[in-house]
Amino acid sequence: MRGFEFFSLVSAYTMDTPRPLHLKVAGRIKFQGKVLKPIGNITEQNLEMTRQNVQMLDKGIVDSLVGEVSISGLKLNQLMLAPQLSGLLRVSPKCIKLDASGRPDESLAVEFVGPLQPSSEDGLQSGKLLSISLQKGQLRANICFQPFHSANLEVRHFPLDELELASLR
């Protein structure tokens, strides 16, 4: 992930700041899953399984990659975001969704809705929604971004000094 710029996920414009903003991410992610395919014909034997797949279709996870994810030691610069989380990751052509939790006061939910391929116009991403919700102790961060529609950011008890964005010396 060298040279990865977080802000390129939500904006096609390059950031022109006097000094570059360095946001280094470190940690381990383990994933174990399988590809779910839609079922063609219905018989009495697989009726219950078909009902489950219809529920999955309603949730948008048919013909997608679904599995268990484990996140450990996730840090943004020196800010520990997720010491140990586990949960479910779903990736489909139209959506990426992560729901993970650890201790009762730790959770991470990420959802990206929209085509995951660049559009033909200028190669820009054509996402419809980016939503991130993080809780770790008293730290709370909620981000919701809909291009050309709205952007919401709510942050509580955020230790800025651990991000190491600037030196106070």
- Per-residue pLDDT of the chain in tens (169 residues, 90 and over written 9): 444 555 555 555 555 555 556 677 888 999 998 888 765 544 444 444 444 444 544 454 457 889 999 999 988 878 888 889 999 999 888 889 999 999 999 999 999 887 655 555 544 455 688 899 999 888 899 989 887 888 888 888 887 777 766 665 5
Q: Is residue 43 part of a domain?
A: no
Residue 20 CB-half CA count within 13 A = 8
Taking the whole predicted model, whether its pTM rises above 0.85 is answered as: no
Domain count along the chain = 1
User: Which residue range(s) make up the domain with 131?
Assistant: 6-36+64-163
Q: What is the pLDDT of residue 86?
A: 94
Residue 95 lies in a domain: yes
Q: What is the pLDDT of residue 70?
A: 94
Residue 46, in any domain of the structure: no
Is position 129 within any domain? yes
DSSP string, 37-75: ----S--STTHHHHHHHHHHHHHT-TTEEEEEEEEEEEE
Q: Which residue has the tokens 């964005």?
A: 165
Tell whether 16 is covered by a domain: yes
53, part of any domain: no
Residue 54 lies in a domain: no
> Is position 50 within any domain?
no
